[in-house]
Amino acid sequence: MEQLKFYKYHGTGNDFVIIDNRDSYFNISDRELISFICHRRFGVGADGFMLLENSPEHAFYMRYYNSDGNESTMCGNGGRCIVKFACDLGMVKENEIFTFDAIDGIHHALVKPDIINLKMLDVNGIEKVADGYFLNTGSPHFVCYTENLEQTDVVSAGRAIRNNSYFGKAGTNVNFVEKCGDSSIMVRTYERGVEDETWSCGTGCVASVLTNFFIHGGGTEYSIKVKGGALTVRFSAQDKGVYNNIWLEGPAKFVFSGNINVQ
Ligand SMILES: N[C@H](CCC[C@H](N)C(=O)O)C(=O)O
Average pLDDT over residues 31-54: 98
Residues 109, 132 within the same domain: no
Q: If pLDDT is split at 50, 70 and 90, which confidence band does 69 have?
A: very high
Quick: pLDDT tens for 78-95. 999 999 999 999 999 999
Active-site annotation holds for 75: yes
> Can you give the pLDDT at residue 26?
96
Q: What pLDDT is stored for residue 1 in this prediction? A: 79
Domain shared by 88 and 154, yes or no:
no
135 and 101 in a single domain? The answer is: no
What is the residue range of 115's domain? 2-119+252-262
Q: Which atom of ligand 1 is nearest to the CA of 137?
A: 10
Give the residue from 107, 68, 80 showing the smallest Cα distance to 9.
Answer: 80
Statement: the pTM of the whole predicted model exceeds 0.95: yes
Residue 201 annotated to the active site: yes
- Residues annotated in a binding site: 14, 66, 76-77, 173, 191-192, 202-203
Please tell me whether residues 104 and 141 are part of one structural domain. no
- Spatial separation of the C-alpha atoms in residues 84 and 100, rounded to whole Å: 12
Claim to verify: residue 61 and residue 82 sit in the same structural domain: yes
Q: What is the CA radius of gyration of the chain?
A: 18
Give a three-class secondary structure readout of the chain.
Answer: CEEEEEEEEEECCEEEEEEECCCCCCCCCCHHHHHHHHCCCCCCCCCEEEEEECCCCCCCEEEEEECCCCECCCCHHHHHHHHHHHHHCCCCCCCCCEEEEECCEEEEEEEECCEEEEEECCEECCEEECCEEEEECCCEEEEEECCCHHHCCHHHHHHHHHCCHHHCCCCCEEEEEEEEECCEEEEEEEECCCCEEECCCHHHHHHHHHHHHHHHCCCCEEEEEECCEEEEEEEEECCCCEEEEEEEEECCEEEEEEEEEEC
Q: How far apart are the first and last CA of the chain?
A: 6
Does one domain contain both 203 and 256? no
Domain count, the chain: 2
* 141 and 94 belong to one structural domain: no
Do residues 150 and 96 share a domain?
A: no
Question: Which residues are annotated binding-site positions for substrate?
Answer: 14, 66, 76-77, 173, 191-192, 202-203
Considering only CA atoms, which residue is closest to atom 13 of ligand 1?
139
Identify whether residues 58 and 163 lie together within a single domain: no
pLDDT tens-place string over residues 111-136: 999 899 999 999 999 999 999 999 99
| CATH code: domain of residue 132 | 3.10.310.10
Q: Is the pLDDT of residue 98 over 90?
A: yes
Rounded to the nearest angstrom, the distance between the alpha carbon of 43 and the centre of ligand 1 is 20
66, 165: one domain: no
Task: Tell whether 110 and 23 lie within a shared domain.
Answer: yes
Do residues 245 and 138 both lie within one domain?
yes
